Structure 1
Amino acid sequence: MDHLEFRLLGSIDACVGGRRLEIGPRKRRFVLAALLLDLNRPVPVERLIDAVWEGGPPDSARMTVQGHVYRLRKSGVRVESDPAGYVLCADPDHVDALRFRRLAARAAQEPGEPGADLLETALALWRGPALGGPGGGMPLEVAGVELEEARLAAVEELARRRLTLGQPERAVAPLRAMVTAEPRQERLVSLLMTAFYRLGRQAEALELYERTRRLLADQLGVDPGAELQATFEALLSGHTT
């Protein structure tokens, strides 16, 4: 029997048997996300209201949230009432954000290539910005930032492992994707430059450095930090480690 799969690492969605469920409007998706982030635990209505409205909620907020919960139930999402609020009941393995965190935690306990493989599996769950990007109230904003920080840390750790294992070709794709999205992340730029260099692509490494240097100067009025500058100088001297 097909079960519901919930997705937060990109747009907020639910799927069954590979078919996307019709969840409804944006605010209903915010309610769904807030329930999923506290999966199998009671979520007070007040927290759901905070998750839905960025500013002050309307007088009808409680009734609106109750309506969204009703519609989620009608679409097949198992949401139970609780004295403390509402509980979305599901297997954590069926929520991509929770699966990502568990895989990343397992990877931290696995040395070498097995851990790197787990990180690749975890990062493959991402389809776009966490929780569909900016939007929603403070609880979702905070959760989105935390998920993006965990993603960045996973990409960095994966790259370091692949470089240590002598597999720079397997570090390039995840690094390039993250640097494209976060071009001012100097540690990732440094790692991508190193991967390029080890693949014999020194010109790309130096071009990336120059592009980042200009970006930092134009947007922040600063020079590259010590780590990125050291990587640049090591590439020029041919003394990368």
Structure 2
Amino acid sequence: MRSPNARAVLVALLLEANRLVPVSHLMETAWEQNPPATAEHRIRRIVAALRTQVPDLRKIPVTEEPGFRIVVDDGQLDLIAFEKALDAARRCDTADGEAAAPEVALDV
């Protein structure tokens, strides 16, 4: 995956794991302010290429109009594990638990 646009699309999909990411958002991510007229088509080609170039991405991202969604399990992406640990730590009933929340999440 040599293309900066492909890396940007993959990162955008992973940052929104398990959530629909509209093609319009992926276009903005890949080209910022100036997407080319062919941007939508190019996003779809990038996603198709990701399916063949990235191990274990053959079935994902899922095409879900008006965009794509990468489906991952809790243990497949550190970001999800971090967010869950942080949420659990924030629900602590004590000040010590709340103060330890960032450390608990970082131990994931």
TM-score by length of 2: 0.75
Structure 1 unaligned blocks of 5 or more = 1-22, 126-241
Q: 2:69 and 2:87 mapped to 1: Cα distance?
A: 25
Q: 1:65 and 1:119 mapped to 2: Cα distance?
A: 36
2:85 corresponds to which residue? 103
Contact 1:106 1:115 in 2 (8 A): no
Contact 1:109 1:115 in 2 (8 A): no
2:18 aligned to which of 40, 45, 51: 40
1:122 corresponds to which residue? 105
Q: How does 1:192-211 map to 2 (within 5 A)?
A: none
Q: Does 1:91 align with 2:73?
A: yes
Q: Does 1:79 align with 2:61?
A: yes
Q: Does 1:68 align with 2:46?
A: yes
Identical amino acids, percent of aligned pairs: 29
Residues 124/55 of structure 1: CA separation in 2 closer, same or farther (3 Å cut): farther
RCO greater where, 1 or 2, for CA within 8 Å and sep 6 or more?
2
CA displacement 1:104-160 (0-9 Å, x = unmatched): 2211222326962x53242356xxxxxxxxxxxxxxxxxxxxxxxxxxxxxxxxxxx
Residue type of the alignment partner of 2:68: Y
Residues 92/33 of structure 1: CA separation in 2 closer, same or farther (3 Å cut): farther
Q: How many corresponding residue pairs?
A: 102
Instruction: Select the structure of larger CA radius of gyration.
Output: 1
Structure 2 unaligned blocks of 5 or more = none
CA displacement 1:157-180 (0-9 Å, x = unmatched): xxxxxxxxxxxxxxxxxxxxxxxx
| C-alpha RMSD of matched pairs (Å) | 2.4
Q: 1:81 and 1:55 mapped to 2: Cα distance?
A: 25
Q: How does 1:216-235 map to 2 (within 5 A)?
A: none
- Structure 1 outlier segments of 4+, above 6 Å: none
CA displacement 1:84-122 (0-9 Å, x = unmatched): 221211114422223222212211222326962x53242
